[in-house]
Amino acid sequence: MGIERTFIAIKPDGTSKKLVGRVIQKFEDLDFDLVGLKLIKVTKELAEKHYGEHKGKPFFDDLVKFITSGPVVAMAWEGESIIEISRKILGSTDPVKAAPGSIRGDFATNIAKNIVHASDSPESAIRELGIFFSEGFVD
Ligand code: CMP
């Protein structure tokens, strides 16, 4: 896999539950490098672009409504095999299946409010980093 970059977002439930520090700590504990960080209010347009692959699914409108409902911490992280490892740090998308010790396993109970998002492949990482860090992204 080698050194990769990925997009991680702490969603409105994560910021309102004051989990920003703990999410960042998990990545720092693994010695990953934070290479981009901003606190944003996601617009409807940005949300629909980011979640474009889910357009047409029954939960799409609620997904857009939720991600635009409060502050989001958008981050770019770098490290060896980080795309696969970050998915383990987060746990399964559905908190019911997320292992204890993972972010979703420890802090979420509902698939629609699962605290944090991580790119699921190298292609998604490039696409999502391009959406959220088109300007001012470090090197
Ligand atoms: P995320 O990793 O941000 O990527 C897409 C999101 O859609 C996912 O986390 C969930 O929050 C949400 N999602 C996926 N499947 C469902 C579902 N069946 N019902 C509601 N929300 C879902």
Q: Does residue 137 lie within any of the structural domains?
A: no
> Which tokens in the block code for residue 22?
């703990």
What's the order of all strands across the beta sheet hosting 72-80? 33-40, 72-80, 3-10, 116-118
pLDDT classification of 134: cutoffs 50, 70, 90: confident
* Helix pair 82-90, 20-29: axis angle to 10 deg: 140
Give the distance (Å) from ligand 1 centre to CA of residue 123. Answer: 19
The pLDDT of residue 116: 98
What mean pLDDT is reported for the chain?
96
Contact 69, 119 (CB under 8 A): no
Range of the domain at 79: 3-132
**Of 32-41, 57-66, 130-139, which gets the smallest average pLDDT?**
130-139
Read off the CATH number of the domain in which 15 is found: 3.30.70.141
Q: Does residue 88 lie within any of the structural domains?
A: yes
Note if 54 is an active site residue.
no
* Prediction pTM value: 0.96
Q: Is the CB of 34 under 6 A from ligand 1?
A: no
The pLDDT of residue 105: 98
- Closest protein CA for atom 10 of ligand 1: 112
- Closest protein CA for atom 5 of ligand 1: 51
Q: Does residue 138 lie within any of the structural domains?
A: no
Helix (H) or strand (E) holding 28: helix 20-29
The distance of Cα 135 from the centroid of its chain, to the nearest Å, equals 19
* Type of residue numbered 122: P
Catalytic residue among 5, 50, 104, 117: 117
- Closest protein CA for atom 15 of ligand 1: 111
Q: Is residue 102 packed enough to be buried (19+ CB in 10 Å), middle (13-18) or exposed (0-12)?
A: buried
Contact 76, 137 (CB under 8 A): yes
Closest atom of ligand 1 to CA, residue 51: 5
Give the distance (Å) from ligand 1 centre to CA of residue 104. Answer: 12
Instruction: Say yes or no to pLDDT of 58 above 80.
Output: yes
Q: How many domains does the chain have?
A: 1
The pLDDT of residue 91: 98
Q: Does residue 35 lie within any of the structural domains?
A: yes
